[in-house]
Amino acid sequence: MRLSDRRCRRFILSLILAFSAVGCEVGPSYHRPGSDVSSKFAVTTRPTTKPVSVAVAGQAAWVDWWTRFNDTELNSLVSRSLAANHELKIAEARVREARAVERVARADLYPTIDLSAAFFKTHGSSAGFGFPWGLPGADSNLFHLGFDATYEVDLFGGVRRTIEAAGATAEATEDERRGVQVTLLGEVARQYIALRALQARLDIANQNLADQRRTLAIVQKRLKNGLAPTFDLVRASAQVDATESSIPPLESGIRQTIYALSVLLGEEPLALTSELLSAAPIPPVPPQVPVGLPSELLKRRPDVMEAERFLAAATALQGVATSDLFPHLILGGAAGVESQKASQLFDQHRPSSGFYAAGPLATWTIFDGGRRVANIDRSKAQVAAALNAYEATILQALREVDSALVAYAHDQARRDSLDTLVAENLRAVRIAQAEYSNGIIDLLDVLEVQRNLYASQDALAQATQTVSTDLVALYKALGGGWEHSSI
């Protein structure tokens, strides 16, 4: 009988070693999917006689893209937002959390060892026949000291696939943080450009208001001398009132934009008021904007990189689900000493106080109503969804870049046309004011050209804002600006 037991133990041990030696990872191994993209972006230009900022297919300058505006205030705002923005700090905390989850998964590669120590004072029940707390009516003590260990042999790679999935998810979370940073930088630049545009429009409104008030003074003087009808005074006053009514919304917009920038920098809304309230020019665009190649975009856009990592995680989780079809092998053991007196726990003359147990445990679910197969089917569907999400993200990225390039070229053409229009309207106002003073034309003609001048100047300021904002959108679409932060 002893020989049979020994042979059985040897057989079980040999089986365990064999399984451990041929341990494998079931499920599909991940390979980054190939993506066919065009060889270049839709770089377009429009013919113009004025110098424009041209997008060129060179090495993309996308790391410190905001410095291309040559605005020291914008550079300062960006630097401070990277250091203090709360949304970015939340994203960084999520990265640390994901990395901790990966370490938790990696811990399953190692055995679990527990130490235990206990003391029990017992009194046996007179009606319990000595069970479970000792002899009936007797008091006793029990000291216990021991340890136990368990280790699941990763025969079919379930643990390794779990680690793979957790690692890919952590990398996706890092890409998500990069995306938050790209969005943050774009929003800081966009709000700053909007602020300078509002200040420019306010200056234009005040200049036109002053000009219209001078016209009103001329009308009042002519009316006093009987050279103008009362209707002219009413029309001139109405135009002054109309221009005055456009100023409060601009002043309100300036304040609100400063408040938005303050919050983006992790400050209270009023924190930047004294710093930004004074007007400054709208940041100009550089002469050239290198945009690189579409293939580079797949390695640069955080959302594309994030989608690819989620696909890798989903593929690994399919392997985890597949591993549940196979047996689980757990090695375990426990040992310790017990005694009614603490001084006798390690008494060599009481060997019976020690205990131990060790051996393997194999489990294999034979029937579960199709749960594991359904779980595999679910994981396959999740892989298919992640693959389609990845491909859709690539298409969206390419569309955003091409759309930004088209907008950048055409909005510059519109800005240049408005610049010419403003020059013509300025000349028309000077001529109209002189001819009105000489009685050649009516006041209505003067008011009309003044309205046209104000509208064209305001439109030019907004068009200049749009061009600079288009460039921000282009840099954001290219995925620029996320190397400057590390966890």
Query: pLDDT digits over 325-348, tens only?
Result: 999 888 888 888 877 777 777 776
Report pLDDT for 134: 63
Q: What is the CATH number of the domain that holds 36?
A: 1.20.1600.10
Of residues 342 and 7, more confidently modeled:
342
Question: Helix, strand, coil proportions of the chain in percent (round to 5)?
Answer: 60, 10, 25
Of residues 414 and 36, more confidently modeled:
414
Q: Any alpha helices (H) in 225-336, and if so which ranges?
A: 230-245, 247-264, 273-276, 294-297, 302-323
- Residue whose pair of structure tokens reads 């298409």 in the numeric block: 395
Determine, yes or no, domain membership for 178.
yes
Q: 463 pLDDT exceeds 90?
A: yes
As a whole number, the mean pLDDT across the chain is 86
Determine, yes or no, domain membership for 340.
no
Determine, yes or no, domain membership for 137.
no
Give the HSE-up count for residue 374: Cα atoms under 13 Å, Cβ half-sphere. Answer: 5
Report whether 157 contacts 25 (CB < 8 A). Answer: yes
250 pLDDT band, cuts 50/70/90, is: very high
Determine, yes or no, domain membership for 5.
no
Domain range spanning residue 424? Answer: 24-111+156-326+371-477
Of residues 140 and 457, more confidently modeled:
457
Q: pLDDT tens-digit profile of 141-195?
A: 777 888 898 988 888 889 999 999 999 999 999 999 999 999 999 999 999 999 9
Of residues 114 and 37, more confidently modeled:
114
- Amino acid identity at 187: E
**At 461, which helix (H) or strand (E)?**
helix 443-477
Report pLDDT for 486: 44
Report whether 161 contacts 241 (CB < 8 A). Answer: no
Determine, yes or no, domain membership for 352.
no
Domain count, the chain: 1
18 pLDDT band, cuts 50/70/90, is: low
Determine, yes or no, domain membership for 129.
no
Report whether the peptide linkage leading into residue 249 is cis, meaning its omega lies within 30 degrees of zero: no
For the ranges 230-239, 274-283, 364-373, the one whose mean pLDDT is highest: 274-283
d(CA 294, CA 276): 38
Q: 485 pLDDT exceeds 50?
A: no
d(CA 22, CA 329): 13
For the residues of 57-68, what is the DSSP string, one character each? SSS---SSGGGG
d(CA 465, CA 482): 24
d(CA 481, CA 464): 23
Determine, yes or no, domain membership for 80.
yes
Determine, yes or no, domain membership for 461.
yes
Q: pLDDT tens-digit profile of 38-70?
A: 767 766 666 566 667 777 776 666 678 999 999
**Of 460, 476, 461, nearest to 404 (Cα)?**
476
**Of 220, 218, 245, nearest to 230 (Cα)?**
220
130 pLDDT band, cuts 50/70/90, is: low
d(CA 467, CA 45): 14
| Rounded alpha-carbon distances, angstroms, from residue 210 to 148, 239, 278, 279, 432 | 89, 12, 20, 18, 16
